[in-house]
Amino acid sequence: MSYRTLATDIADFITTHNLHGSHVMGHSLGGKTAMALALQHPQLLKHLAVLDIAPVAYSHTQIDYIQAMQALNLDTIKRRSDADAALQEGVPDTVLRQFLLQNLVPDGDGFEWRINLDALADQMDEMIGFPTFAEQQYNGPTLFIYGMDSDYVLAKYHSAVRTYFPTAQMLGIENAEHWLHVQKPNRVVDAINHFLNAD
């Protein structure tokens, strides 16, 4: 469970399906994966869009959310609303809880997690970090969109963005936090459409 490995998986998918010249976009962990892909395999991309994440190591972990999901007794869950109620204490933010519950899928008469919670918990330090790509850059069209009320793409991180992505455009979305695509979907979609159609 590393960004280099995730990026290699996507590169293999693009190559296998002859999707060279792809427009690649990712949010948060997906954004770090997209950045790693662009740095390792720049020839596969036409555009790169990164949502509310920077190529830096963060100190805040998501382990509490993973542990709350692991603690959910799936034997007692008969409806998705049961899971929502049971997860409320561990994940009080409604938007985040609903996002996490997208990973709870029907399994016969009950439910199961479709993501490997144990692997995520075990590799959390890797996930909140970012690998070093010595002297590697992606010079293709790049857009970083971030929530202006988020602490994931602070001004002090912009230099790290420019180190790896010299051509990057930086766009802040007002009144948006980390889940900017949920909070301001029209603004985010408009920005991405404009970016993709600019050349």
pLDDT tens digit string along 33-43? 999 999 999 99
Closest CA to 169 of 198, 189, 149: 198
- 5-20, pLDDT tens digit by residue? 999 999 999 999 999 9
| Dihedral sign from CA coordinates of 129, 135, 136, 140 | positive
DSSP of the chain = --HHHHHHHHHHHHHHTT--SEEEEEETHHHHHHHHHHHH-GGGEEEEEEES--SS--S---HHHHHHHHHS-GGG--SHHHHHHHHTTT---HHHHHHHHTTEEEETTEEEESS-HHHHHHTHHHHHS----TT----S-EEEEEETT-SSS-GGGHHHHHHH-TT-EEEEETT--TTHHHHSHHHHHHHHHHHHT--
38: phi then psi, degrees, rounded to nearest 5: -65, -35
Give the per-residue pLDDT at 105.
Answer: 94
Residues 84, 101, single domain; the answer is yes
In the predicted model, is pLDDT for residue 199 greater than 80?
A: no
Residues 18, 34, single domain; the answer is yes
Contact 161, 131 (CB under 8 A): no
Give the per-residue pLDDT at 60.
Answer: 83
Q: Domain residues for 166?
A: 3-56+131-196
Residues 190, 145, single domain; the answer is yes
Residues 45, 137, single domain; the answer is yes
Domain stop point among 96, 122, 148: 122
pTM: 0.86
Which tokens is 138 given?
């992606």
- 145-165, pLDDT tens digit by residue? 999 999 999 999 999 999 999
Residues 183, 144, single domain; the answer is yes
Give the per-residue pLDDT at 61.
Answer: 85
CATH number of 189's domain: 3.40.50.1820
Residue of 23, 28, 82, 149 marked catalytic: 28
CA–CA distance, 109 with 182 (Å, rounded to integer):
31
Residues 93, 112, single domain; the answer is yes
Residue of 93, 118, 125, 190 marked catalytic: 118
Which tokens is 115 given?
């993501």
Residues 29, 116, single domain; the answer is no
Asked if 28 is an active-site residue, the reply is yes
Give the per-residue pLDDT at 198.
Answer: 85
In total, how many domains does the chain have?
2
Residues 96, 135, single domain; the answer is no
Residue of 27, 41, 47, 178 marked catalytic: 178
Residues 51, 101, single domain; the answer is no
Burial of 29 (0-12, 13-18, 19+ CB in 10 A): middle
Residues 23, 111, single domain; the answer is no
Asked if 178 is an active-site residue, the reply is yes
Residues 47, 144, single domain; the answer is yes
Residues 135, 192, single domain; the answer is yes
CA–CA distance, 153 with 66 (Å, rounded to integer):
23
Give the per-residue pLDDT at 39.
Answer: 97
